[in-house]
Amino acid sequence: MNDSFGFEEPIIMTEDTKNRPPEKKKHEAGAIIAGIVFMIIIAAATVLVVFNLKGGRYTKEREAVTSWLDSMVEGNGEKFVNGSFCEPMMTALLKKNNVEKADYINAVEQQLKLLDIKYRKLKVVKKGATIESELEDLNAEIAKYTGETNVISDLYSITVKYEYKTGTSSSWVANEEEVEIYVSDGKCYIYSDALL
């Protein structure tokens, strides 16, 4: 405060004001705490991402199937998306070797969504028999990587029909194609596809 002559009045320090921490220290302490909380959040997010990418439950299986399909398609990107294995899409918990029609639909829907394809009127028109020769090769390849035998319990093809849109087009295009499905550990996955 200023006195009547314009000079600053001295601030008298009492015991109470001497012991009170400056406001600056309060702000610094708050910033440190906020920084620690932020670092904890970043660390937790990093652990989750690393686990999902490297330590997830099906990582070895994905690597095995990818390797096997790469050798089969020899870089043919038209048969498989990006020329390799499409990440397995878990659709539902199922009874082993007992996959219902709704689960086929769900598996294909997940793949279409992954590819960001607008679709409608999706239905299964045919289910083929188990592909025994490919099933044996696939299990043998997975066993080489994981040491586990008969990981895949069933492998078969289904034929689906649906309509889709591409880009900014306003018209729907009819499509029919064969999609292979496999069952592992009681779950239904897209094994390979030729979706667009």
The DSSP line for the chain is -B-TTSPBPPPPP-HHHHHSPPHHHHHHHHHHHHHHHHHHHHHHHHHHHHHHHHS-TTHHHHHHHHHHHHHHHTT-TTTSGGGSPPPP----B-BTTB--HHHHHHHHHHHHHHTT-EEEEEEEEEEEEE-HHHHHHHHHHHHHHHS-S--EEEEEEEEEEEEEE-TT--S-EEEEEEEEEEEETTEEEEEE----
Least confident of 44-48, 90-94, 140-144, 157-161: 90-94
pLDDT tens, position by position, 34-43: 667 656 665 5
Separation of alpha carbons 96 and 75, rounded Å: 33
- Per-residue pLDDT, averaged over 43-60, amounts to 45
Contact (CB, 8 A) for 168 and 142: no
Domain boundaries, the chain: 15-54, 59-192
Q: Strand, coil or helix: what is 52?
A: helix
| Most confident stretch, 92-101, 162-171, 182-191 | 162-171
Name the DSSP letter for residue 5: T
pLDDT band at 117 (very low <50, low <70, confident <90, very high): confident
The per-residue pLDDT for 156 is 72
Mean of per-residue pLDDT scores for the chain: 59
- Say what the pTM is: 0.40
Smallest CA-to-CA distance from 107 within 179, 9, 18 is with 179
> Is the pLDDT assigned to residue 175 strictly greater than 80?
yes
- Per-residue pLDDT, averaged over 42-71, amounts to 47
Structure tokens at 102: 């709704």
Q: Is 84 exposed, middle or buried (0-12, 13-18, 19+ CB in 10 A)?
A: middle
